[in-house]
Amino acid sequence: MSETQKDDARDAGYELTRIFRILRFTLIVTIVVLALWLLGDVLMVVFASTLFAVILHGLARILRDRARVPYQLAVGLVALTILLAIAALFYFSGPQIGDQFVKLKQALITQYGQVRSQMGTSTWGQFVMDHLPKSLGGNETGSGPSLGAGLANSVTGILSSAFGLLGTIAVILIAGLYFAMSPAIYVDGMLRLVPENHRPAARTLFLTAGTTLWSWTIGQAFDMLAVGLASGIGLAILGVPLAMALGVVAGLCNFIPYIGAILGAVPAVLIALSQGSRTGLMVAGLYCVIQFLEGNVLAPLIQRHAVHMPPALAILAQTVFGTILGVPGLILASPLTAALLAIGDKGTAPLAEDMRTGETMGDAPLGKAETA
Residues of the chain with pLDDT below 50 are 142-143, 146-163, 369-372
pLDDT in tens, 58-87: 999 999 999 889 999 999 999 999 889 888
- The structural domains of the chain, with segments of one domain joined by +, span 202-348
The verdict on pTM exceeding 0.75 is no
Q: Are residues 132 and 140 in contact, defined by beta-carbon separation less than 8 angstroms?
A: yes
pLDDT in tens, 276-289: 788 889 999 999 99
- Say what the pLDDT of residue 305 is: 58
36 closest CA partner among 317, 343, 344: 317
Q: Are residues 120 and 126 in contact, defined by beta-carbon separation less than 8 angstroms?
A: yes
- Say what the pLDDT of residue 156 is: 42
